[in-house]
Structure 1
Amino acid sequence: MDIAPFGLERWFAEYEHDAEIMLAESGIRSLDASRFDLDPGELGYVIPTNGDPEFRARVGERYDRSAEEVLFTCGTQEANFLSFLSLLGGDGGDHAVVVTPTYQALYSVPEAFGSVTTVDLEPPQWTLDVDAVREAITDDTAVVVVNNPNNPTGRYHGEEVIQQLYDAAAAHDAYLLCDEVYRLLAEDPLPPVASMGEYGLSTTSLTKAYGLAGLRFGWLVGDRSVIEAAWNWKDYTTISPSLFGQHVAKQATGRRETEILEENRELAAENREIVADWIDRHDLSWYDPVGVNGFVTVPDGFESSTDFCRTVVEQEGVVLAPGDLFGHDDYFRIGFGLPTSELERGLSYVSKAIVNRGESR
């Protein structure tokens, strides 16, 4: 088995440590730990290792699923990884259809286990051609993969489109796996895919919408056979979810949830308007995103998205994500979930790099 290097993570490894401002982060700003009770008691494993049964039942209710159809994981990354391990290479086939551009793990991991056909969203509106997905599905397809809202574009595909995707997958006895890590940043979130029926799988975590990346706490929800297979694989990865993560997650998804999500949605909306005004001032464009990621056209005067992003970070100390890492070299990804004052300062530095390049031409 071979797997491609994770381009975005390698980019971050090169620049993030020494940069002044991170405008490539894809989640909302982190909450302070002081807002939660941090004492989970004895520091042992979570028992049972798939997660506290009562908490799993509470999460399952959100998806019209039982506790046995929920597996707690170390973030969405592990939830997705375990899903692919469980779905590919067995009787269901070793082929995946993945809607791109998207987070690299959603196509590189299944490609390492089997084969992948990608179906690209159509810029500049990043519309999803369901017919193209249907044509890509074969009798060997085990899973169709979509990230909704999408990373990096911020496109939120509507309920009708997702239902059509689900029907297309189910017609071939394939699952529809939806990475929904940004879903609760929407003002009116769609029903999760795992609530749509037997072939729906949802993955998410408290990382992006809740501002709790350091918990490393997420879950996979769906068909019991998939959950049991994923739990079997989890015995060989992290064994159990984080005890601290589960302890704080119970609080964050309990009585404090409405307050946290409203606060984060307000911050996302305020910052989105600031970025939209900045884009207009520089005669750039984007698709107005849901969440805290946007895919912006590269300014004139730069050879590529990498040239632009490297110039910005090396001259001004601001990290952006080159669109080339997502297969679109004429765009760059900006994350605007950080505190507003920090966002405004970062944008002013990026403006300086754009103006200086324009004056040097």
Structure 2
Amino acid sequence: MGDISFSNGISNGNGFHGNGHSVGGAQRKSCWYEEEIEENLRWCFALNSILHTGATQFQDIQLLDTKPFGKALVIDGKLQSAEIDEFIYHESLVHPALLHNPNPKSIFIMGGGEGSTARELLRHNTVEKVVMCDIDEEVVDFCKSYLVVNSEAFCDPRLELIINDARAELERREECYDVIIGDLADPIEGGPCYQLYTKSFYEFTVKPRLNQDGVFVTQAGPAGVFSHTEVFSCIYNTLRQVFKYVVAYSAHIPSYADIWGWVMASDSPFLLNADEMDLRMKQRIKGENRFLDGKTFTSASTLSKAVRKSLDTETHVYTEGNARFIYGHGTAYKHNKA
């Protein structure tokens, strides 16, 4: 992850050039976040302040107060979630899988340290137990302290918080789950998570821990017309090698500057139509979703022609020795306008 750096109106070495001007002869500081999405493409927006920056045993972490997106959590230089639109990501990750299960009582979250996935799960009145397993205790403690929107979820007696590697924890446990959720960081080269996107992991660790009618769902990276070939298409194809029924879906998340993808898999067919999904939402979920309903999911799972064609013809299977990775990193820095 890039360091915070300072500039006086000249290039700061991170690809940003300021347009210097004065206001009453005084300097005015401007604070920015910049993420390199591709080699020749960067995403940049203004910050009110940098609330925290540091490093844990496993990863770098920043909490930014952004002008367009509110508070934003950045891990290993990749924006994980932003206050103004995280509901799109977390509703999409959680609710389709639970609604397609006939009676989801026990859930296992791989990752999910910020608590938002647990928050959405605990809105379901069928849920009796949620195990959230995140490898980084410092990130979890940090999110408990700073992300007050999830305070209630962290205090819910149905939530069991485990600090461990998700693979080791699933292999250690004997119980099975109705839904397993992969709320993991993106597969970044050198990062801690890429092995949890592999065929062997899905086949020998995840699937044996699912109950009958069990559903697995994972976040699957960028899913735009051009970006979906990074990891989205091969995660979809990898899960097709392991499960009988696999559904890919996507939605635009403004703070990510792209369409984002999820993949849901099961050995039981996904048969709910939009009206049936809406009915289950009314019966099961406390409060009203801001983003997801039956029609929205129908739209989300109707991918564009280009992406559908690519997924249908994808042959790459994600393995430890043949992995694909998300490109890029982000940098928060200050620029002094003279």
**Which has more helix, going by share of residues?**
1
**Which has more strand, going by share of residues?**
2
TM-score, normalisation: structure 1: 0.40
TM-score, normalisation: structure 2: 0.42
